[in-house]
Chains A and B, each alone.
Chain A
Amino acid sequence: MSVRVGQASEARSFQEAAPDSLENSQLRHNIRHATHVIRDKRGKIVGEMPDWQQLRDAGSAIKAHVMRNLDFYLEQFEANVTKAGGHVHWAADADEARTIIRELIEQHGSKEVIKVKTMTSEEIELNPELMAHGIAPYETDLAELIIQLGEGQSSHFVVPALHINHLQIQKIFKDKMPLQEMGISELGEKPPELAEAARRYLREKFLRVKVGVSGANFAIAETGSLVIVESEGNGRMCLTLPEVLISVVGIEKVVPAFQDLEVFFSMLARSATGERMSPYTSVWTGVNAKDGPKEFHVVLLDNGRTRVLEDDEGRQALHCIRCAACLNACPVYGRTGGHAYGAVYAGPIGAILMPQLQGMEHSQSLPYASSLCGACYDACPMQINIPEVLIHLRSQIVQEKQSHIGGKLSGENLAMQTMRKVFQSETMLRIAHKLARIGQGPFVDRNVIPHVPGMKAWTQTRDLRAIPRQSFRDWWKEREKAGKSGGRP
């Protein structure tokens, strides 16, 4: 098995990539606007639910239960899909998934596919594979279409094009769409006009293309059904009109029973877009002779998920229902956007999922891309304790570093070992205090340290208070000597 999640293994570290994003004022403006809008909407719509916490309790319990019994539920799902006339394929990694999907399309003979937005497709990098084999994949989700035509990169997995403004979209459409043929002589810049252009561009594809590719939000073991939650209707088009439907679904998407949707349907749209329900939710099972595709395939994707399952603490990352509430709540993501994470899954969930899926050599800067503020944990409908998993992953990174001599001798490790020793002895602590007070001497200017080499990362932009002449414990000792009544604090 060779796990590969998008381009993560070639990406720059977060520390290297973030400064570029932080300087991009268009991105900063758009992402601030988008995350604040959704955050406010989410806050209001969740605020009207007196039983939100009870839903979270049920959701996290169901997911934890599924992970503990994942083999059972996957087999039950497979049996039911097969019973309903569908085919189940098992993909150990991205390579296998790509090959399976491509071969299924080639078997059918179609040179085009219409696609519903799915993170799993990006994860396995399906589009390049298809194109390399003469198959044209058409993204039909408006944001994915914009990114595909503009040859860009998604920056948010619910609102992928949030870093792009309407003028940029207008240009992309003008450059890449056959507007005249579509009956549009002048394409304006207003969102409704842009949406109309997208509608016309895609409609002829929906009515014509014979193979559809999708993911799924949930896979129901009890019935062998898949669920897709969406806003525009492009999902329904791809699920209903083609002759063949191929759905690539992460193995963690499984839920036990149809009735369990009562929990997830009550939380997903509220968390993702601040709506009670998205405009369309589709549930389908295998093949229905009178309705929809004649041939249906599910590709169950591992690609590192079983590795995540091995970690007792880290496995809660598999509970994610991809609502992106954590992204919208995160003060770090909200300023750097998704590109700085260099990963298909960005933001807080990306920071804990990517290192576990891909392995620690890649993505190891991600667990440190957080101030541990906890806003993500508050927002997560599945109660994934992201800060705790971040610390857990940091500890794995540190232990890995310490296992070889280079890491042992790193500045950070030596500093940490020194601090530990100092904190293990009152005497050493007092000495350290004295040394610090002496050491700061040359750098103090009017009670403040504006600059000190070795602490450049801080003093470049922030002043540092000078260490006072007397520590608290010194003051207390003095006070005790003077007898308490004498020393007024």
Chain B
Amino acid sequence: MISDARNQASKQAIMGRIRAANGDAATGTAEREAQRAGELAQIPRLFRRDGKLPMPERMTLFQAILKHYGATSYVVHAADVANAVARILQERQKRRMVIPPEFPQAWVPQGVEVVRDTEAGLSNDELDKIDGVLSGCTVAIASTGSIVLASGRDGRRAISLVPDYQLCIVKQEQLVEFMAEALAELKELKSMPLTFFSGPSATVDIEMTRVQGVHGPRTLDVVIAS
């Protein structure tokens, strides 16, 4: 049986071994803290952290990588988002879409039944039966073709996981060049559940052949609102 006492004993044993290995007495001393902080500050971060790519090139890069991943992307004017979404969903024959509670009304498309994921939340079976998920995002990364959804802003994770189709709206100003910038943008949300999407689900486990769509949405469309 693993009791609290046993847990604490193991913790102390592990801590003891770590300190012995490092030649340290204990944590918490001002001296050690100063040393640790000093070392951390000395870590060289000379890789690219500040994007210099102008927006048009950033968008082109983002779209190219999305295409490489097998996702389709569209650039539309901010005012046209709802119409564009309606058109895409019609082409894809998606009639019932789940949306996050926070989804802006201005983006809700005509001619499609949208189900807002409320406090009670759709059940897994309901999500399994719905045609797809429609959401915005928190930040997108051009150099890796990634889109980040944060729980509490872009819906709980299950709604962009169980349905088979995902349409994500990225506002142009949310698109940064590098991962470092995206993480900085996410600072306030770093303790929320976050999901980085880089294309639809895939695997190369069968003889290195890339197969799209094992779990998670098998189809990903992206609308970039400029």
Q: Which residues of A pack against B, CB within 8 Å? A: 1, 30, 33-34, 37-38, 50-51, 54-55, 57-58, 61-62, 65, 67-72, 74-75, 84, 89-92, 96, 99-100, 103, 141-143, 146, 159-162, 165-166, 169, 191-192, 194-195, 198-199, 202-203, 206-207, 222-225, 231-234, 236-237, 239-241, 251, 256, 258-259, 261-263, 265-266, 273, 275-286, 288, 290-292, 300, 302, 306-307, 309-310, 315
Asked if residues B203 and A195 are in contact (CB atoms below 8 Å), the reply is: yes
Q: Please measure, in the bound complex, the distance between the C-alpha atom of A288 and the C-alpha atom of B189, giving whole angstroms.
A: 13
Cβ contact of B27, chosen from A37, A71, A237, A290, cutoff 8 A:
A71
- Contact B2 A103, beta carbon cutoff 8 Å: yes
Are A92 and B24 in contact, CB atoms less than 8 angstroms apart? no
Query: Are A99 and B2 in contact (CB-based, < 8 A)?
Result: yes
Given contacts A232-B203, A236-B215, A279-B198, 10 further A-B pairs with CB under 8 A are A65-B39, A75-B15, A103-B1, A159-B204, A237-B161, A241-B161, A266-B47, A280-B196, A283-B193, A288-B192
Q: A232-B214, A309-B17 are in contact. Are A282 and B194 (CB under 8 A)?
A: yes
Write out the residue numbers on chain A whose beta carbons fall within 8 Å of the beta carbon of B46.
51, 54, 57-58
Q: Do residues B144 and A279 form an inter-chain contact, with CB atoms below 8 A?
A: no
Give the 6 A-B residue pairs with the shortest CB-CB distance, closest first. A233-B216, A233-B215, A306-B17, A277-B198, A281-B196, A291-B156
Judge whether A199 and B194 touch: CB under 8 Å.
no
- CB pair A234 B215 closer than 8 Å: yes
Q: Which residues of the partner chain A approach B180 to less than 8 Å between Cβ atoms?
A: 259, 262
Cα–Cα distance between A225 and B183 once the two chains are bound (Å) = 14
What separation, in Å, do the CA atoms of A329 and B199 have in the docked complex? 27
24 A-B contacts (beta carbon < 8 Å): A34-B208, A72-B36, A89-B2, A90-B11, A96-B2, A96-B10, A142-B206, A161-B206, A191-B207, A194-B206, A195-B203, A203-B215, A207-B162, A232-B214, A263-B45, A266-B47, A276-B198, A282-B194, A283-B193, A285-B191, A285-B192, A288-B151, A291-B156, A300-B14
**Contact residues in B for A161 (Cβ distance below 8 Å):** 205-206
CA distance A61 to B47 in the complex (A): 13
Residues of A within 8 A of B36 (CB): 65, 69, 72
* CA A234 to CA B49, docked complex, whole Å: 31
Instruction: Enumerate chain B residues within 8 angstroms of A202, measured Cβ to Cβ.
Output: 215
- B2 and A306 contacting across the interface, CB-CB below 8 Å: no
Q: Which residues of A contact B15 (CB under 8 A)?
A: 71, 74-75
Separation of A406 and B27 alpha carbons in the complex (Å) = 45
Question: Total contacts A to B, CB within 8 angstroms?
Answer: 263
Q: Footprint of A on B, CB under 8 Å? A: 1-2, 6-8, 10-11, 13-15, 17-22, 24, 27, 32, 36, 39-40, 42-49, 65, 69, 119, 124-125, 128, 141, 143-146, 151-152, 156-158, 161-162, 178-180, 183-184, 186-187, 190-209, 211-216
Q: How far is the CA of A16 from the CA of B195 in the complex (A)?
A: 45
Residue of A nearest to B22 (CB): A68
Please give the distance in Å from B143's CB to the nearest CB on chain A: 7
- Give the distance to chain B from A357, nearest Cβ to Cβ, in Å: 13
User: How far does the alpha carbon of A263 sit from the alpha carbon of B49 in the complex, in Å?
Assistant: 10
